[in-house]
Amino acid sequence: MAGRLPISDNFMFGRVLCNEEVCRGFLERVLGIEVGDIAYLNREQVLQPAVDARGVRLDVYAETDAGVVDVEMQANPHTAPGRRLRYYQAGIDSGLMEHGAAWRDLRDSYIIFACDFDWFGAGLPVYTFESLCREDPSLSASTGAVWKILNARAAGCAPTEGMRNLLEYIRKGAVAPGDRLVTAMDAEVSTANEDREWVGSVMTVRDLVEEVRLDAQEQGLAEGRAEGIAQGMAQGMAQGMAQGREEGRAELAARMAALAARLAEEDRAEDALAAMADPAVAESLCQVYGL
């Protein structure tokens, strides 16, 4: 099928993992624990640690019996992965404690980055990070926070058959015979690809991402990136408005233009493109900025 999106596409990944059974199976395989009931499962969760702070957009956010979980599909090896994980952790933790709550009530949390590249260059299929004592690694601060980075390029070195099958699927789209989780994930991918309107919108976003990247590369300036982001959002807004009712167009245009300007100022290309592709994300960001 022309224009078929693989599981390694972050939009596809987020859509597939919003199937509760698939999400539970994925989490239990990666974390090696029983997840239990999933009380809340959301795609494109937007967190704003502080009013003027950079927002965090989570691909898949779940609240489970085992703790809260953020799962991300990473297509590109961004710089400073550790600091990126730290900021994601801060965004998650900021919403977990009510005023006056005891520290022991802070829930366990897990951040999983699924990557089709080796972010740390050590050739490991899975990198697990927890807070350990440098002087005595047998001691742990017991923060309850666990970070796992999956490296699909090292699928052949995975510690279990299940993890090898999962990483091979992320890397190549290969479905291992008899693997119920991977088979279920692939069925969700096929169903999503049959939704050609959705696939078309994702492809449009991909084209705009490339335009923004090339513009930034040619200009070498933050202003160039901001202009590209605003232009891309304007195109997406125009497409969405053409399909909607005549009533309310002016108000929508004003809100989206204001949102584009705010995101461009903060160089938040990922959030801008997500808002363009998904009205729910746009609405969440508008609420964050009070637009």
Three state DSSP letters for 229-274: HHHHHHHHHHHHHHHCCCCCHHHHHHHHHHHHHHHHHCCCHHHHHH
The confidence band for 53, taking pLDDT boundaries of 50, 70 and 90, is low
* pLDDT for 3: 73
- Which strands sit side by side in the sheet containing 38-47, from one edge to the other? 38-47, 56-64, 67-74, 109-115, 145-151, 126-129
* pLDDT for 257: 65
**Three-state secondary-structure class, residue 204:** helix
* pLDDT for 273: 66
**Side chain identity at 184, as an amino acid letter?**
A
Q: What is the pLDDT of residues 246-287, one digit of tens each?
A: 445 556 666 776 677 677 666 666 677 677 666 777 788 888
Region 4-25: mean pLDDT is 92
Report yes or no on whether pTM surpasses 0.75.
no
Phi, then psi, of 287 in degrees rounded to 5: -70, -40
Q: What is the pLDDT of residues 168-225, one digit of tens each?
A: 999 999 999 999 999 999 999 999 999 988 888 788 766 766 665 566 556 554 554 5
- Return the domain boundaries, the chain: 10-194, 196-289
Phi, then psi, of 241 in degrees rounded to 5: -70, -35
The confidence band for 77, taking pLDDT boundaries of 50, 70 and 90, is confident
Residue 129 has pLDDT above 90, yes or no: yes
Tokens (6 digits) for 26: 């994925």
